[in-house]
Structure 1
Amino acid sequence: MVEETYDVEFDESNGSQGAHIDVVDIDEELLVEAMKNIPIEQIDEQAQDIGSLVHTPQVTPQRRSQLTSAHPQDLIIGSASKGVTTRSRNVAGFCKAYSFVSSIEPTTIDQALSDPDWVNAMHEELNNFSRNETLEAKPKGARVIGTKSVFQNKQDDEGNIVRHKARLVAKSYSQVEGIDFGEIFAPVARLAAIRFLLAYASHHDMKLYQMDVKSAFLNGYINELVYVEQPPGFEDSNNPNHVYRLSKALYGLKQAPLAWYERLRDFLIEKGFKIGKVDTTLFTKKTDDDLFVCQVYVDDIIFGSTNEEYCEEFGKMMAKEFEMSMIGELTFFLGFQIKQLKEGTFIYQEKYTRDLLKRFKMDDCKPIGISMSTNTVLDIDESGIKVDQTLYRSMIGRISCLVCACVLGQADPKEFHLTEVKRILRYLKHTPSIALWYPKGASFELLGYSDSNFAGCQVERKSTSRGCYLLGHSLVSWSSKKQNCVSLSTAEAKYIAAGSCCAQLLYMKQKLLDYGVKLSRVPLHCDNESAVKLTNNPVQHSRTKHIDICHHFIRDHVAKRDVLLRNVGTKEQLVDIFAKQFDESNFCRLRSELNVLDLRTII
């Protein structure tokens, strides 16, 4: 973040002999108009004009600029507890020094060039770009890809703006496959993998850290010959028609994510790390009895070790190869707030919840204890009153992990559907500090719960498979998906659901091998005895002989002793919270058994 301050010394020995006008007596709007749109470089000149309106003691401003993340205390004038004043304020005091941080994100290059903070951010980005690329005359017949700048404010976990970020991106819509790019798929860590790592680290008393690679995509090498235009607003005046020939990737290029991933992967493997066989964004390194783990999400890296010295070594190693932004202990990642305590780890989204409620103007709504009433049946409502489809889809997209049933109304949402989605927001209003709790030192076993609602869809009469998966006492993954076929019985629907959950459990079991943990039979709980018997005894029954071969996948793994299907009572079926409606007491009971707790009652 660029901070500009002025050290001001007041000469109080020589007062004015004429009439004195105090600053506070001047109309605020007049002062704003006097100071509006004045470049920093012209402050000395404009101060003389303002002095003709307002008499102030003689001052000698001294400009200081520096790159820093915290304002030096010895340069603070006034109360240190006073909040930062932003450019969006109408009036700023003129006898105090402020650090201005623009909260408005420019949408055009002209808007950005009018703000010194964004100009500095653009210079930083262009310096990273130009030092790796070659400016040359445009070859005859060469395809040239356009560029543009994108601007975004970076915030911390409390929503405070910490720095401005300008990004030069290529207009990839003009790229041609086979000429400008080839393979483009790049692995990205799934959210379940992040929670998996957090649960593992909490159990093994491992503190996690995070770091960010600055301009990560600019580090990836590309094989194709690609030319791009000069950045708008920063053209070379001597060679305005020249273009850049790329030797490294640029944000916006279709192959940029893969180029960066391959560069990072090759570097870590060269340093002795092993890449995960199931999750290729996981890298591990075992030394004696200590384990170092590293999870990559594009340019954000989470890492930790049972030996803190390895974390320090990793940070130095990465900083030597790439330009890094060491953030420190993991506290905020992909919208999740993370609190690592001695007893375990909390994962919650309080900030996101409050922003969500504010976005849809429901921050003053009446809270409610459960997200869905016991007598509600969500389905297509052909006779209902239509509502704004864009608004409905926007709300659905921002709470996608909570709205499996509500997605049925996306094609033609009615007032009934919107009311139910708003009910979910009211529930979030009631539970902003609800968090996943990953206790330290708990039993370390992998287990799953599967269930299905027979013919739950009133239109297609298809059932919905639901499952949840725990690592010890830590909920790390859950799912809810409509089945592809129509089941003829409850047993068939739950048998198909068990097969889907079996596949997820096998994935997680193999993932544990990358951490050096080997498990034998993984228990899967199902509350239908007939479905359990079908997995162990492949009888040809008139009610089951039609089941498609692909759904018998679970039989093979039960026979191989990879999975153990257990019958569980209805009250112990934890996945029911994802499948059924409950009153508030039973809902809270199941939520607590999944270790989803309220931070306010614990911390």
Structure 2
Amino acid sequence: MTKKPFVGQSAIANGLLDLVHTDVCGPLSIPARGGFSYFITFTDDHSWYGYVYLMRYRFEAFGRFKEYRLEVENQTNRKNKSPSVGPRWFIGYPKETAGYYFYDPAEQKIFVSRNAVFLEKGFPSDSRHDEVLIEESNEEPHRDTKTSFEPTVHTDSVPVLRRSTRESRVPDSGFVGLTSQLDNDPKTYGEAMSDIDSDKWLEAMKSEMGSMGSNQVWTLVDPPKGARPVGCKWVYKRKLGANGEVTAYKVRLVAKGYTQRPEVDFEETYSPVAMAKSIRILLAIAAWYDYEIWQIDVKTAFLNGFVEEEIFMDQPEGFTAVGEEQKICHLQRSIYGLKQASRRWNTRFDEVIRGYDFIKNDYDPCVYKKISGSSVAYLVLYVDDILLIGNDVKMLGDIKAWLSTQFSMKDMGQASYILGIKIYRDRSRRLLGLTQSSYIEKVLKRFKMEHSKRGLLPMRHGIKLSKKQSPKTDEELKRMLNIPYASAVGSIQYAVECTKPDVAYALSVTSRYQACAGEAHWGAVKSILKYLKRTKDMFLIYGGGELILEGYSDASFQSDDGDAKS
């Protein structure tokens, strides 16, 4: 039934699913992958969580609605009370709200609705004379439910705003991919064999091949007709400790995923990781309640995922099977480098951990919780790094032992260093400190600021940036093209998310000009880096005070000369 347009703005709904907005868009001028030309959206007015379903034809809308209704009713334990469209009697107009009064003879009740089609063409003797086709408003009283719910991605209905299928570089650990440009690790098999640490690299490669064999990652087969095997390469990384010392030589055999063909070698690629703010929140809770914080590393995590597509790969350089040089690898497991590898691993881990009675967090899909009596445990997953946080040592030990039966694990003990963040604890005072001194030193070196002066403030007083300071001449444009402005902003952003909220405002201002940065904007970014040099050894401290969430915001529309946006 066609709904009438809303006029004006009404109050926000009091509870989940009290009011749901929906709209159908299409046909699209260029169909999406898979032949989808329409999409339908459902948005809850209370929480503003939304679902998007792709459709090939407009008539699929009702089927998508039923799919959506089942999903949200299951999550919120609320039922749709609106009946199907049917005849009711119009009896008047309400004074307090827009719409009409209707009488339902079947249920003998009066209600208000604004969605109606009046049947005015019948004769007076027609039994339908005073009837209208209406859709009743939901009169279900408000219930106490969860404050929000998280949409589930359906395999046969991909969100219209698709995640990029471009291969993402996933860090083994440490500095989220930034340090790869700062270290002198071998880039090829030949460089590794001529490196001063060649014996260590060779030992690591043999260990990697051992993992491939024990996990039955592939089988050697003769190339099938028409097969297009993807290439592979060795990736070398010196793993650093909290003080920058080399703690391990890590080698990964990585498939050249950029040669994979969409919808042939892969489909879905998105895989979540724990948000930095989720980690900080849980660490703050752990500090306040004096919880245990343990760290576990999953060895060759991606090899735990199973490949659903038929994929062939070349044999690894330096480890070609003697007498079977002409054969190729038929992949059974999700090797590193495949576009779907991280998704396959995350899906497998999610299935396993929920089978052990862990409950996934609604807001962060990589945070899990388990409660047993007075014992509570939190599990945080960041690719292959796991944090276990809880108040019961025995319970945490049981979880760790059980995980070891499912995956190959390395027990790291008490968490002291994760994702480039040092963790210091003073349990007698229930204090926990976080710092990224090593990470910041590497960022300063990368942008040639390691010998600069130390700044007192992240943004100098009186500095006012605007688009008017963008390059005007070809010479200025050419100079700014050689300045890694966006890269510097991104490097600072990671520090802000983890341990440096004090430079959040300065970063917010400078990040507005990434598309039109000039000398003044670059100077402001360097001021932030100078300030980070001065404060790199300082800590973000949790504990000591009350466990209260406080938020701060600032709107300054008039100070923006560009477009008056805060």
1:421 corresponds to 2:504: no
Q: Which residue of the other structure, out of 311, 315, 321, is the alignment partner of 1:226?
A: 311
Cα distance in 2 for partners of 1:116, 1:149 equals 15
Q: Alpha-carbon deviation of 1:383?
A: 5.8
Please point out which of 489, 493, 514 is paired with 1:396: 489
Q: Which of residues 356, 361, 372 is equivalent to 2:459?
A: 372
Instruction: Single out whichever of 431-440 and 238-247 deviates more from structure 2.
Output: 431-440
Gaps of 5+ in 1: 1-102, 465-603
Q: What SS does structure 1 have at the residue aligned with 2:520?
A: helix
Residue by residue, what CA displacement relative to the aligned partner does 1:429-472 show, whole Å, maximum 9, x if unpaired?
A: 221222221115x433334333211233312222x2xxxxxxxx
Q: 1:278 and 1:417, CA in 2 relative to 1: closer, same or farther beyond 3 A?
A: closer
The amino acid of 1:253's aligned partner reads L
Match for residue 435 of structure 2?
A: 348
C-alpha distance after superposition, 1:230-276 (max 9, x if no partner): 11221112111111111110111111111111111111122222222
8 Å contact kept, 1:169–1:252: yes
Distance, in Å, in 2 between the alignment partners of 1:117 and 1:270 is: 39
Q: Which residue of 1 aligns with 2:82?
A: none
**1:361 and 2:465 matched:** no
Classify 1:446/1:366 alpha carbon distance in 2 versus 1 (closer, same or farther; 3 Å): closer
In the other structure, the counterpart of 2:84 is none
Cα distance in 2 for partners of 1:322, 1:165 equals 19
Of residues 110, 114, 120, the one that matches 2:203 is: 120
Q: How far is the alpha carbon of 1:297 from its aligned partner?
A: 0.8
How far has the Cα of 1:313 moved from its partner? Answer: 1.9
Q: Does 1:448 align with 2:535?
A: no
Q: Give the 3 Å change call, closer, same or farther, for CA 369–107 of structure 1 in structure 2.
A: same
Q: Secondary structure at the match of 1:143?
A: coil
SS of structure 2 residue aligned to 1:248? coil
Please report how far the alpha carbon of residue 104 of structure 1 lies from its aligned counterpart in structure 2 after TM superposition: 4.1
Which amino acid in structure 1 is aligned with residue 201 of structure 2? Answer: W
Structure 2 distance, partners of 1:424, 1:277, is 35
Q: Say which SS state the counterpart of residue 449 (structure 1) adopts.
A: coil
What is the letter of the counterpart of residue 273 of structure 1?
A: F
Matches of 1:194 and 1:264, distance apart in 2: 19
Cα deviations by residue, 1:62-91 (Å, 9 ceiling, x for unpaired): xxxxxxxxxxxxxxxxxxxxxxxxxxxxxx
* Structure 2 residue identity aligned to 1:345: L
2:471–2:516 CA contact under 8 A, matched in 1: no
1:156 aligns with 2:219: no
Give the paired residue count: 360
Aligned equivalents of 1:427, 1:284: Cα separation in 2: 38
The corresponding residue for 1:76 is none
In 2 relative to 1, CA 364–447 (structure 1 residues): closer, same or farther, beyond 3 Å?
closer
Q: 2:335 aligns with which of 244, 247, 250?
A: 250
CA distance in 2, matches of 1:178, 1:414: 42
1:438 has 2:542 as partner: yes
Matched AA of 2:490: G
Deviations 1:6-60 (A, max 9, x none): xxxxxxxxxxxxxxxxxxxxxxxxxxxxxxxxxxxxxxxxxxxxxxxxxxxxxxx
Say if 2:375 and 2:395, in contact at 8 Å, map to a contact too. Answer: no
CA distance in 1: counterparts of 2:471 and 2:266, whole angstroms? 49
1:468-518, Cα deviation, whole Å (9 max, x unpaired): xxxxxxxxxxxxxxxxxxxxxxxxxxxxxxxxxxxxxxxxxxxxxxxxxxx
Q: Which letter does structure 2 place at the counterpart of 1:360? A: F
2:444 and 2:450 in contact (8 A); partners too: yes
Corresponding residue of 2:35: none
Cα distance in 2, alignment partners of residues 383 and 255 from structure 1: 41
Corresponding position of 1:207: 292
**Would the aligned equivalents of 2:460 and 2:527 in 1 still touch at CA under 8 Å?**
no
- Distance in 2 between residues matched to 1:433 and 1:245, nearest whole Å: 49
Equivalent AA in structure 2 for residue 266 of structure 1: E
Q: Where do 5+ consecutive residues of structure 2 fail to align?
A: 1-182, 497-502
Residue equivalent to 1:107: 187
State the alpha-carbon separation in 1 of the partners of residues 356 and 292 from structure 2.
22
Query: In the aligned structure 1, how far is the partner of 2:205 from the partner of 2:422?
Result: 29
CA shift at 1:169, angstroms? 0.9
Q: Distance in 2 between matches of 1:272 and 1:136?
A: 40
Percent of aligned pairs with the same amino acid: 32
User: What amino acid sits opposite 1:154 in the alignment?
Assistant: K
| Amino acid in the other structure paired with 2:517 | P
Distance in 1 (CA, whole Å) between partners of 2:490 and 2:288 is 33
